[in-house]
Amino acid sequence: MGMVEVIKAHGGRVFQNARVTDVVRGPDGKGITLVFGNDKVVAEHVLLNLPRHELLHLDHFKAALPARTVKMQQCIKFDVPASLFPPGQKFDLGRSLTKAYAFYEEAWWHTRLNRTRGQWPDNAFVPLQTSVGIPIGIHFNDGPVRCDAPLVGCRGFLEVFYSPAGETFFEDMRPDPYHPLGILSANKDTQGHLARLHSAIMEATQPLFWAASTPQPLVAPSLLAVGVWDRSGEGYTAPTKVYYSTAPDIPGGPDPLEKACGVPGLSDAEYRRTVLAPLPGLGAKVVVANNDWVAQTTETMFGDWAEESLLQAERGLRMQGLKRPEWLDAAYYDKKVWNVLVGDSVEFGRRPTAAVVV
């Protein structure tokens, strides 16, 4: 809420739970109308923080886009060169990329194992199979934990699975592809899922307890939270963006961006420039920043981080005439914001007097 307070202190107004249902450009190209169901707001400058499936459901907005732009926005790809996963690290890809966190009243990885970092197995992306049919891949550092003192009186979340490997136990916890969050608490667990999960975790981590000469905890987690990103292209997807590769060992042959997206002549610069300010003839009056709008080679992939969205937002705001915020490192800003915009030959506008951020 800190940011909201700063916005208000500067005279901004914040409307929560306001879902934008359309974006309509004015007939003279001046005002942009944001539609929120029965309500409307007309703005001079807009920054849309919307994922793919929401942006492409804004009817007037989509209708105003050139077909080439829509093709770029629709493009999702994950080229996987055979060399990406070394021998012994290969697995069958499933229908989703899923993360799962189990909440333990006793954070035993702190209290019994003194393990607060690292993975189990060494590459948790390739999980351990267990006899109860639930694969386990642990990141000991990833999950909030509270302790009375270091390693004493701890409770918290443990990441027990983060992988695109085929499985259904975690995946089935999400309501549907448009609602990636699934939560199972002990009082709703009529089928004993949490006990089964505990036995899978204990089976997978048994060697660690043996090595530490310490008994395993008997109490199952009291809650399981999962995030499931669909790999079939529906709803919240994984990948959410374009990872293309020109490596010779890509199934189907080298796949430059233009081929990956089916857009002749498409370059990284055109992709970035277009998805950032997609409406033609408006300059940077409407900019779009979201984790989904990235195209890069598989070889340069370093993860899906919030940094990507924040960079796009800074680039969009710079195009709208706003300078580097003073808290942002100048060298980083020059390299990742200013130089990229100049290299991409974008169109800069004048500093706005008022704007709407969605």
Cβ closer to ligand FAD: 124 or 247?
124
Helix axes 268-276, 306-319, angle to 10 degrees: 70
Exactly one of 19, 131, 191, 353 binds ligand FAD (CB under 6 A); which one? 19
Cβ closer to ligand FAD: 94 or 235?
235
Cβ closer to ligand FAD: 54 or 203?
54
Neighbours of 281 (CB within 10 A): 8
> Is residue 199 part of the contact set for ligand FAD (CB under 6 A)?
no
Sheet with 39-43: strands ordered across: 22-25, 32-36, 39-43
CB of 304 to ligand FAD, least distance (A): 5
Binding-residue total with ligand FAD (CB under 6 A): 16
> Is residue 304 part of the contact set for ligand FAD (CB under 6 A)?
yes
Q: Are 48 and 288 in contact (CB under 8 A)?
A: yes
**Three-state secondary-structure class, residue 219:** coil
Return the structure tokens found at 326: 């003073």
CB of 149 to ligand FAD, least distance (A): 26
Residue 188 phi, psi (nearest 5): -110, 0
Closest residue by Cα to residue 73 from 215, 203, 263: 263
Exactly one of 22, 33, 49, 202 binds ligand FAD (CB under 6 A); which one? 49
Cβ closer to ligand FAD: 250 or 294?
294
> Is residue 235 part of the contact set for ligand FAD (CB under 6 A)?
no
Q: Is the peptide bond before 239 cis (omega within 30 degrees of 0)?
A: yes
> Is residue 340 part of the contact set for ligand FAD (CB under 6 A)?
no
CA atoms within 13 A on the CB side of 143: 31
Cβ closer to ligand FAD: 7 or 82?
7
Q: What would you measure as the largest C-alpha separation in the chain, in angstroms?
A: 75
Q: What is the CA radius of gyration of the chain?
A: 23
Residues between 168 and 197 that touch ligand FAD (CB under 6 A): none
CB of 216 to ligand FAD, least distance (A): 26
Q: Is the peptide bond before 121 cis (omega within 30 degrees of 0)?
A: yes
> Is residue 50 part of the contact set for ligand FAD (CB under 6 A)?
yes
d(CA 260, CA 252): 11
Q: Are 24 and 62 in contact (CB under 8 A)?
A: no
> Is residue 306 part of the contact set for ligand FAD (CB under 6 A)?
yes
CB of 21 to ligand FAD, least distance (A): 7
> Is residue 20 part of the contact set for ligand FAD (CB under 6 A)?
yes
d(CA 250, CA 269): 23
> Is residue 160 part of the contact set for ligand FAD (CB under 6 A)?
no
> Is residue 239 part of the contact set for ligand FAD (CB under 6 A)?
no
> Is residue 263 part of the contact set for ligand FAD (CB under 6 A)?
no
Residues between 87 and 126 that touch ligand FAD (CB under 6 A): 99
Which residues contribute to the site for ligand FAD (CB under 6 A)?
A: 19-20, 49-51, 54, 99, 227, 290-291, 304-307, 309, 358
